[in-house]
Structure 1
Amino acid sequence: MSWAGKILRVNLTAGTVTPEPLNMEWARAYLGSRGLAAKYLTSEIDPKVDPLSPDNKIIWATGPLTGTMASTGGRYTVTTKGPLTGAIACSNSGGYWGAELKMAGWDMIIFEGKSPQPVYLYVNDDVAELRDAAHLWGKSVWDTEEILKTSLQDPLLRISSIGKAGENGVLYAAVVNDLHRAAGRSGVGTVMGSKNLKAIAVRGTKGVGNVRDPKAFMAATKAAKKVLADNAVTGQGLPAYGTQVLMNVINEVGLLPTRNHRDVQFEGAKDISAEAMLTPRASDGKKHLVTNQACFGCTIACGRVSKIDETHFSVQNKPQYWGASGGLEYEAAWALGAANGVNDLEALQYANLICNEQGMDPISFGATVGAVMELYEMGVLTKEQIGIEAPFGSARALCELADMTANGVGFGKEIGLGSKRLTAKYGHPELSMSVKGQEFPAYDGRVAQGIGLAYATSNRGACHLRGYTIASEVLGIPVKTEPTASEGKPELVKAFQDATAAFDSAGICIFTSFAWTLADVAPQLQAACGDEFTMEQLNLIGERIWNMEREFNNAAGFTKADDTLPQRLLTEAAKTGPGKGSVSKLPEMLPKYYEVRGWDAEGRPTAATKARLGL
């Protein structure tokens, strides 16, 4: 079986690190990563716990395919109760850290309690110990990586850490590994900071040698890689353009939320698109994009490496930002750009670098700035309060607010609260474009009815990665559905949500699902684990995970009333584009969604549903 069969339990209060066997019954029922970590978390904490109290726990988890030769097998998740939402939080990251943990012989690390002083966990195969991190506290993610690799004399260490945002309590702080890969959403980095846990440094030399049927596994992964290579999205679009390939596409179909969702198309989209990243700059003739990059074991390589224009105002006298570093992904480019009406590509890159360097979710940050800019234009917030002029379209305001928020200074402390708390504080809660307190990603839920329903019902708050119906509504994968139509969308959303939970839990990247179905994943898991996994079983596992997360949220105090969208999406029609005149039809879709889920009218899984899923 390709589970390592071991987990580490770290009691930060007592300073103890204890190995224990993995619960294999749970592993078979929930796979790994997202599903298995959620099972451990929901079994061990009170759903009503304060996310930032020592009684909350936080879990790093790999999947059975993490660290193997399965394409994209580098994923890991960080799972906790999230401070931004108060809901279950599970944030997924790529890079190399997850594979390193698996190669050290561990499936998962559970942290409980709170350390009296800053610490980091050092893992070198079977050796695992807490060490003093006083010298790392106050350092950026980038500095933390460099200091640990240098002081431990091991350039091959893989580091998962927080920057100043996590230390300062920014409610959407991220956990960052490999300099610019992040478990980005819901404030998992904030929980890490609340526990005085700075980093996890891992070195694994064992490999993943326990694949049950190596010959069958090699055949299954080879066939699956060919499917990815032959697909237009995973074989051509993503390698060439990255996720930024979507900017112009989504804008043209009228789905690009602009200026805090006041508009659905951005006149400056072309200036911040993948095509713009590939066009030589007027200032120096160089391209913004340097190259693409892959995470561990990935045959898609959608990652971007970019170089900022050294003459740009944001980096003048800041040579530390002149080198090549993590480039813009679509979600970040949207949140920092269109959401604020900013079409300055270099400003977006600078704000993104700050998010990477100090460990901050660019989606929630950018969307919160959008709310601030709207409040500023309304006259509710003034230059004196913010510290700068902050109208929509101001690249300078974006860059300065990124610095202020990451460092926890001035009005940045307010932005660090997220849009739900900030807009409520200033008397306009309706301006928070969020669900359950988590800000929307880069698709408008008025025009694409499926994604609106997916946002409203997502267990971790507004999210595109919990049911990416855009694949069907815009890209025609696996079948084309009409974006503005509401009929059939409850069934579509459930299918995407359940399948996504299985992909996440296997330890592979959700981008494979542009080409793969669960029928491509099943033979890889079967050969790796030795257990019989069919497409039907994986769907059932995904559905089990979804319902378990829902049960936790219900117990935490969430109700049907939280499965909603901002009034702007329900009442203010899209002004332009193919979906002009559309509002979200959530009220008519939600009861049907509950029905297809096997929930009662209040959104609670019925006894029959729980029995069928073994919950």
Structure 2
Amino acid sequence: MSWTGKILRVDLTAGTCRAEPLNMEWARDYIGQRGLATKYYVEEVDPKVDPLSAENKIIWATGPLTGTMASTGGRYSVITKGALTGAIACSNSGGYFGAELKMAGWDMIIFEGRAASPVYLSINDGDAELLDASWLWGKSVWETEPAIKARHQDPLIRVSTIGRAGETGCLYAAVVNDLHRAAGRSGVGTVMGSKNLKAIAVRGKVGVGNIRDPRAFMKATVAAKKVLADNAVTGQGLPTYGTQVLMNVINEMGAMPTRNHRDVQFEGAKDISGEAMHEPRKTDGKKNLVTNQACFGCTIACGRISKIDEGHFTVQNKPQYWGASGGLEYEAAWALGSANGVNDLEALTYANFICNEQGMDPISFGATVGAVMELYDMGVLTKEQLGIDAKFGSAEALTHFVEITARGEGFGREIGMGSKRLTAKYGHPDLSMSVKGQEFPAYDSRGIQGMGLAYATSNRGACHLRGYTVASEVLGIPIKTDPLVTDGKAELVKAFQDATAVFDSAGVCVFTTFAWTLSDLQPQLHAACDESYTMESLAVIGERIWNMERDFNNRAGFTHLDDTLPKRLLTEPAQTGPAKGLVNGLDKMLPEYYQVRGWNAEGQLLEATRARLSL
């Protein structure tokens, strides 16, 4: 079995840490990470809990393949009730922290209560203790990680932490590890900050040696790595351009949300694309992109490491930002760029640096700025209120806003509420491009119809990583479907959602699904964990996880009325590109989706569905 069989329960109120055995029946039924931690969470927490109260819990979880030789086996997730949404939140991160936690001998950490003053958790293999973090409070991610390593005199410690955004209550604060890998969405960092929990520092030397069938596991992982290497996306596109390979592709097909979804194509997309990151700058002849980078055990290496032009207005006289660090990925480049009409690549890189440094989701931040710029364009917000001229396309406004939002200062506190609360406060709630309070990622659902249904039904609010039908509708993976039609999309979305739940729970990266199907993952889980993992059982587990999350949200107060899209996407047709004249056809897709899910017309699980999935 590739589980360690052990979880760490930390009572922040009492200041205690204790080990307890993993519930192996649950582990087999929910695999690990997203599925297993959510099972623990929904069994222990009242769905009506205030996300920022001491009664809420927050869980760090690995999967059974985390820390193994499986490609991309470095993932971990943070599970809680989201501060931004009030829905179930599971935010996934790469880097090296997850593998280190597993190698220290832990499958999961469950935090309960609230510390009276700032603390951090120190784990050294089987030893765990809460230590004073008052000396770290107020420090950025970039300051906290090296400070902890220096205090413990161990450069190999891995750190998962919040920055100032998580301390000041920005509702989409992230949890960041390895300086620029993040459990980024839904406000998991806000929940962490509300508990006075600054960081988790882990050093693991135990390793992961409990593979059920090592010979079969090695054979399965070698075969799976070859599939990744031979695939055009995972073997060529992502290593070369990262997720930014999509910028020009999505723009050309008329699905690039631009200026708060007013438009579906951005005239400046080429200036902020993956290709642009490779081109020498006119100012200094150097490239924005320094190199690519891989997370633990990853054979894809889609990560970007970038360096800002030292003469750019954002970093003049700021040498702390002159070094190379985590560069733009597609979602961040879109949210900071196209969503606001900004085509200044260096300004976007700077804003992304600040999001990493202070622990803030660049998607929700950038999309909220898009709403602010539209309100400014309408005259609802003024220069006096904002402290700057905030026209669409202003790199100066974007970078000003990222600084004050990360610090929780001035109008930045309002931007930190997210677009749903901000637009409602100023009388225009329809301008929030969000579902369940979480802002959209980088695909306009008028140009990619299936993504509209995926957004509307996502259990954690608008999200591309819960059912990435772009793979099928745009890239033809595993089959090509027409992005402009609604037929068959209910079945497609369900299939993607269920399969993704399995990959997330296994401890591998969802980007493997550009090349892998469950038939590539199943032999790895079968050899590593339990011989009962068959294709059929994994399909049921994925569906079980999805329905468990849905049931929690229903009990938390969400209804079928929350499975919707902003009025703009349902009533304002796209003006350019292949989707010209189209709105999203959610009204047709949603009833079909409920039917294939085994739910009633109100979006509630039927008793027959509960019984079939053992819920």
Q: Give the shorter-chain TM-score range.
A: over 0.9
Misfit runs of 4+, over 3 Å: none
* Mapped partners of 2:410, 2:124: distance in 1: 41
Match of 1:551 in 2: 551
Residue of structure 2 in register with 1:497 after alignment: 497
| Residue number in structure 2 paired with 1:571 | 571
Query: 1:613 corresponds to which residue?
Result: 613
Counterpart amino acid of residue 542 in structure 1: G
| 3-state secondary structure, aligned to 1:315 | coil
The C-alpha deviation readout for 1:141-189, integer Å capped at 9, x for no partner, is 0100010001100000000000000000000000000000000000000
Contact kept in structure 1, 2:306 and 2:325, CA below 8 Å: yes
Corresponding residue number in structure 2 for 1:132: 132
The one-letter amino acid of 2:139's match is K
Query: What letter is aligned with 2:341?
Result: G
Describe the SS at the equivalent of 1:587: helix
Q: Is the 8 A contact 2:253 2:447 kept in 1?
A: no
Partner of 2:452: 452
Q: Is the 8 A contact 1:307 1:322 kept in 2?
A: yes
Q: Which residue of 2 aligns with 1:410?
A: 410
Partner of 1:177: 177
Match of 1:601 in 2: 601
Aligned residue for 2:92? 92
Report what 1:260 is aligned to.
260
SS of the equivalent of 1:263 reads coil
Residue of structure 1 equivalent to 2:377: 377
2:40 matched residue in structure 1: 40
2:314 is paired with a residue whose SS is helix
Separation in structure 1 between the aligned mates of residue 277 and residue 435 of structure 2, nearest angstrom? 31
Give how far 1:532 is off: 1.9
Contact 1:67 1:100 in 2 (8 A): yes
Give the C-alpha shift of residue 447 in structure 1.
Answer: 1.7
- Measured in 1, the distance between the counterparts of 2:149 and 2:519 equals 41
Aligned to 1:148: 148
The answer on 1:187 being equivalent to 2:169 is no
| Amino acid aligned to 1:150 | A
Q: Aligned partners of 1:531, 1:55: CA distance in 2, in Å? A: 38
* Map 1:50-61 → 2, pairs under 5 A: 50-61=50-61
Q: Which amino acid aligns with 2:420?
A: K
Match of 2:2 in 1: 2
Listed as ranges, the gaps of 5+ residues in structure 2 are: none
- CA shift, 1:534, in A, is 1.4
Contact 1:449 1:486 (C-alpha < 8 Å) held by counterparts: yes
Offset, 1:536: 1.7
Matched AA of 1:343:
N
Tell me, in whole angstroms, the C-alpha distance in 1 between the residues paired with 2:184 and 2:531.
32
- Deviations along 1:111-144, whole A, 9 cap, x unmatched? 0000000000000001000000000000000100
Distance 1:500 1:242 in 2: 20
Q: Confirm whether residue 355 of structure 1 aligns to residue 328 of structure 2.
A: no
Q: In the TM superposition, what is the alpha-carbon distance from 1:21 to its structure 2 partner?
A: 0.2
Give the Å deviation of 1:83: 1.1
- SS of the equivalent of 2:10 reads strand
Q: What's the RMSD between the two structures over aligned residues?
A: 0.4
For 2:20, the aligned partner's letter is E
The one-letter code matched in structure 2 to 1:125 is D
Q: What secondary structure sits across from 2:223 in the alignment?
A: helix
CA-to-aligned-CA distance 1:256-311 (integer Å, 9 cap, x gap):
00000000000000000000000000000001100000000000000000000000
1:213–1:530 CA contact under 8 A, matched in 2: no
Aligned-pair CA distance for 1:241? 0.5
SS of the residue aligned with 1:109?
strand
Q: Quote the residue 2:336 is aligned against.
A: 336
Work out the CA distance in 2 between the residues paired with 1:312 and 1:537: 54
User: TM-score, normalised to structure 1's length?
Assistant: 1.00
Aligned with 1:462: secondary structure?
coil
Letter matched to residue 81 of structure 2: K
CA distance in 2, matches of 1:22, 1:434: 37
**1:179-578 maps to which residues of 2 (within 5 A)?**
179-578=179-578
Look up the equivalent residue of 1:557 and give its one-letter code.
G
Q: Following TM superposition, by how much is the alpha carbon of 1:531 offset from its aligned partner in structure 2, in angstroms?
A: 2.9
Deviations 1:177-229 (A, max 9, x none): 00000000000000000000000000000110101111100000000000000
**Please, what TM-score do these two structures have when normalized by structure 2?**
1.00
Give the C-alpha shift of residue 533 in structure 1: 1.1
Q: Distance in 1 between matches of 2:459 and 2:510?
A: 17
Residues 471-497 of structure 1: CA deviation (Å, up to 9, x unaligned): 000000000000010000000000000
Give the aligned residue type for 1:311.
G
Using the TM superposition, give the Cα deviation of residue 530 of structure 1 relative to its aligned residue in structure 2, in angstroms: 3.0
Structure 2: how far apart are the matches of 1:504 and 1:133?
Answer: 31
Aligned partner of 2:511: which letter?
A: F
Instruction: Please give the alpha-carbon distance, in whole angstroms, between the structure 1 residues aligned to 2:424 and 2:325.
Output: 36
1-structure distance, mates of 2:468, 2:578? 20
Matched to 1:411, the amino acid is F
Report if aligned partners of 2:116, 2:196 keep a CA contact under 8 Å in 1: yes
Q: Distance in 2 between matches of 1:303 and 1:497?
A: 24
Percent identity, please.
79
Q: Aligned AA for 1:354?
A: I
Q: Say whether residues 1:16 and 2:16 are aligned partners.
A: yes
Q: Is the 8 A contact 1:519 1:534 kept in 2?
A: no
How many residues are treated as equivalent by the alignment?
A: 615
- Give the partner amino acid of 1:275: E
Q: What is the CA distance between 1:535 and its match in structure 2?
A: 1.6
